[in-house]
Amino acid sequence: MNAQSRSRRWRAASLVLLSAAVLATAPAALAQTFAIGAGGGLLNDEGSAESLKNFSTGAGYGFAEIALDQGVLLQARYTRMKLPSSAADGPDIDVDAATLSVAYLFREDWWQAGFVAGGGGYWLGPKEPGPGQMALEQSTARFGWHGGLLTIFALGRQADLRLEAVGHLIRDDDRRKPIVLSAAVAWKF
C-alpha cells in the first residue's frame, strides 16, 4: 500500500471521526436516538438507471447517525466504491467518500420513507495499471453532492433494514455521477 493511499484513507477516516465526534457531543434531547450500521449495494457508473446492465460494480459503507427530531436524521458515512476509468484502457478507480447527510422521513407504523441529501469529500485513486493498461488519471480529492430516496423498515425496537437509491455528483473533471442501490442494517441505541 503506497503512502498516498494511506493518506487518502486517513483523510476519509478523519472526516468520519470528526463528524461522529460532533454527533456524540450534541446536547441530549428527550428520547434522542443514535444508530450505527453498515450496508452495500450495486453501483451504476453510467449516470443513468435506464438499464440494469449499467449496475456493474459495487459499493460498501458504514455510518453513524442521530435523530435530530421526529423524522429528521443526520448521518455521517464512509463509502468505498469502484468506478471505471474515463480512459478506454485505464485501470479502475477506487473512491473513498466521507459524507454528511440529512434525511427527512414520513412515518408509518412499521416503516418510514423519505428523502436524503448531503455532501462531502471524495478521494479518487486509480489502481495500479494491469497488462496493456495506461495510468492516465492522477489521484485527486474532490467535493461532491448526493441525494436520493430512503426507506426504513423496523425489525424491532433496536434494529432496522434500510433500502436506498442515491445518486452522487462528484465534482471532478469527468463529472462522474454514480448511482447506488443498496441495503443496510442499523442498530439503534
CATH fold, domain 3-188, is Porin (2.40.160)
Contact 61, 95 (CB under 8 A): no
Residue 45's pLDDT band, with cuts at 50, 70 and 90, is confident
Task: Please determine, for residue 57, whether its predicted confidence score (pLDDT) is greater than 90.
Answer: no
Share of the chain above pLDDT 90, in %: 49
For residue 19, give the nearest of 124, 147, 105, 118 by alpha carbon.
Answer: 118
For the chain, how long is the longest CA-to-CA vector? Answer: 60
Structural domain spans, the chain: 3-188
Q: Tens digit of pLDDT for each residue in 146-163? A: 999 999 999 988 999 999
Beta bridge partners of 97: 79, 122
Query: Which range among 44-53, 75-84, 165-174 shows the weakest confidence by mean pLDDT?
Result: 44-53
pLDDT at 142: 92
Query: Which range among 27-41, 94-108, 119-133 shows the weakest confidence by mean pLDDT?
Result: 27-41
- In the numeric block, the cell 448531503 is attached to 118
